[in-house]
Amino acid sequence: MAVMVSGYQCRIGQVQSQFPINTFPQDIQNFTETVQQEIFVQNQLAILISGEPGTGKTAWTQAVAKEILVPLGYVIFILDHDAVENFVPPTYLEQICLIINEADNLAQDRSLEVAQTNSKTEHILSLLDGTLYQSVVDESGINHQHKLVVLMTCNTKERLDPAVLRKGRVDLMYEFTYCFV
């Protein structure tokens, strides 16, 4: 199941993917195998894909969601520009994947004037740290072990806040270089 969240509205459906993983260039398929292995061993995994427009970043996140995460029981949340600032992952779901496209437009360097007027960067940092997802203890006092995968895309890492790229926030990074789409 997938939920596309836009501000305070959402649309529920199935993940669609135009391009299966096996249609991507071999280096991206190899990276995808690494991602899949990490999904099995880590409770929280953040992946940042960068590259020029048309290199297949968004198509790849959709393919990973459809072919790897949904079969493992993950619920996919695709967050648009308006939803990022207010989204809190539901704690009753044990396996969640967040897809954040165009992260360089959302988690902009806070030293830039354009980023001073919103809290999207801080919110994304909280999602990456797990503080919005793993800090709530249920009524019984038990803190359930949840699995969280965050897939982010960006055109350029230079506009991202340096805190996003800090060790411990993004586990895997890869640059897509081939014009694919």
Count the Cβ atoms, other than its own, within 10 Å of residue 21: 19
Q: What pLDDT was estimated at residue 136?
A: 46
* H or E element, residue 98: strand 95-100
Look at 85 and 169; give whichever has higher pLDDT: 169
Break the chain into its structural domains and give their ranges.
27-110+118-135+143-176
Strand pairing class (95-100; 172-176): unpaired
Q: For the ranges 22-26, 121-125, 144-148, which has the lowest average pLDDT?
A: 121-125
Q: What pLDDT was estimated at residue 129?
A: 61
User: Residue 105's pLDDT band (boundaries 50, 70, 90)?
Assistant: low
User: Residue 77's pLDDT band (boundaries 50, 70, 90)?
Assistant: confident
Does residue 99 register a pLDDT over 50? yes
Q: Each residue of 8-48: pLDDT tens digit?
A: 556 677 777 889 999 999 999 999 999 999 999 998 898 99
User: Residue 78's pLDDT band (boundaries 50, 70, 90)?
Assistant: confident
Residue pair 177/126 in contact by the 8 Å Cβ criterion = no
SS (H, E, C) 46-78: EEEEEECCCCCHHHHHHHHHHHHHHHHCCEEEE
Question: Looking at the domain 27-110+118-135+143-176, which fold is it?
Answer: Rossmann fold (3.40.50)
The token pair that represents 132 in the structure block: 């919005």
Percent of the chain whose pLDDT exceeds 70: 66
User: Residue 2's pLDDT band (boundaries 50, 70, 90)?
Assistant: low
Q: What is the pTM of this model?
A: 0.79
Does residue 88 register a pLDDT over 80? no
Q: What pLDDT was estimated at residue 131?
A: 47
